[in-house]
Structure 1
Amino acid sequence: MADSFERYHKWEQHLAEVTLPKWDELPKFDLYMDQVVAYVNDTLGPLDVDSVTPAMINNYVKHNIILAPVKKKYQVMQVADILLIGLLKPTYAMDTIRQGMDQVTASLFPKRAYDTFIDLMLSGLRGDLPEAPADNLNDQMMVTAVHAILDKMKSEQLLSLTKEIVTPKPVEQK
């Protein structure tokens, strides 16, 4: 049990070392689909979230979750959206994600909204995300989303580690 607890703390320390790119650190040139997939998966890989596939990205375009590529090339805005979707989709439905992104960017420029979310996510990964309410509803929505993402990641990690200690017995049908 102590070993599992130690492994959980090491996992938390690993999260604290994860870096995520701010807007100005995103690729400055347009990317083809395979480059977008590689970039997003490399960026989000240390968080152990599900990989993004070309089929998923095509579905995001088809369902107007992200803008269509221009001449098969994705621009910084689309790459930022795909990164955010990759973080949010294990916790939220796609329509909720798009509505949230639209709501936040209605009052903040996309660059500022993205950077604010990434700052909050990085604070959360380091374990210093504020519990106090934010200054406005959009910031509060982002803080709440980051808490939900992190809580889901932590619960899954804890469940995985506790399964190693004790395997639950299946429920018997009578």
Structure 2
Amino acid sequence: MEIMDEYREWEESLATVALPTWDELPKFDLYMDQVVAFVNSTLGKLEFEPITSSMINNYVKHKVVVAPVKKKYQSMQVADILIISLLKSTYSLETIRSGIDQVTKRNYPKQGYDRFVSMLVASLKGEQLPDDDGTNQLNNKLMEVATESVITSLRARMLLKLMEKEKN
């Protein structure tokens, strides 16, 4: 198979990626090892660097993620960790936390998270982004730029991987 055919096939595989909406996140609190397993299985098809418990502890230590209650993580924390995992290769943790805070200042965390996921999934499928609700154009633009950065990062990593493969 030619390298460009392999790239096109990979791009087509992105259309099959599904990310959980807020209501599809676990309904019960999770321990650290469960969070790690959930996030890594959710993002595995995108070939992101696997998350570790040390990384999550670092996010909590630096107040990027709210500390767990009795060592258990709730939906909001899991959603934050998913978003951080998607964006950390492009943005600093401080920038990601600031973006999450800005979006959730005007929308509930569920609405902001679901909007981001729907925009990212549409981009992965090569579809037009879903219409915004018109409530805040800056929030929507911020999420649009963030989703574009995830897609661009994925593409760049795959192209580099294929170019290295072609050299050998």
Q: Deviations over 1:85-131 (max 9, x none)?
A: 1101011110000000000000000000000000001001101244x
Q: Deviations over 1:50-73 (max 9, x none)?
A: 111001111111110011100000
Q: Which residue of 2 is the match for residue 19 of structure 1?
A: 18
Q: Which residue of 2 is the match for residue 147 of structure 1?
A: 148
AA in 1 matched with 2:153: K
Matched pairs, number: 165
8 A contact 1:65–1:98 mirrored in 2: yes
Q: Which residue of 1 is the match for residue 127 of structure 2?
A: 128
Which segments of 5 or more consecutive residues in structure 1 lack a partner in the other structure?
168-174
How many angstroms apart in 1 are the aligned matches of 2:47 and 2:15? 14
- The TM-score normalised by the length of structure 2 is 0.93
AA in 1 matched with 2:139: N
8 A contact 1:134–1:140 mirrored in 2: no
- The TM-score normalised by the length of structure 1 is 0.90
AA in 1 matched with 2:107: L
AA in 2 matched with 1:20: L
Please identify runs of 4+ aligned residues in structure 1 that moved more than 4 A. Answer: 132-135
- State the Cα RMSD in Å: 1.8
Q: Cα distance, 1:162 vs. partner?
A: 2.1
How many angstroms apart in 2 are the aligned matches of 1:46 and 1:139? 26
Q: Which residue of 2 is the match for residue 172 of structure 1?
A: none
Q: Cα distance, 1:164 vs. partner?
A: 2.6
SS in 2 for 1:31: coil
Q: Which residue of 1 is the match for residue 40 of structure 2?
A: 41
Q: Which residue of 2 is the match for residue 164 of structure 1?
A: 165
Q: Which residue of 2 is the match for residue 109 of structure 1?
A: 108
Instruction: Give the share of equivalent positions with the same residue, in percent.
Output: 50
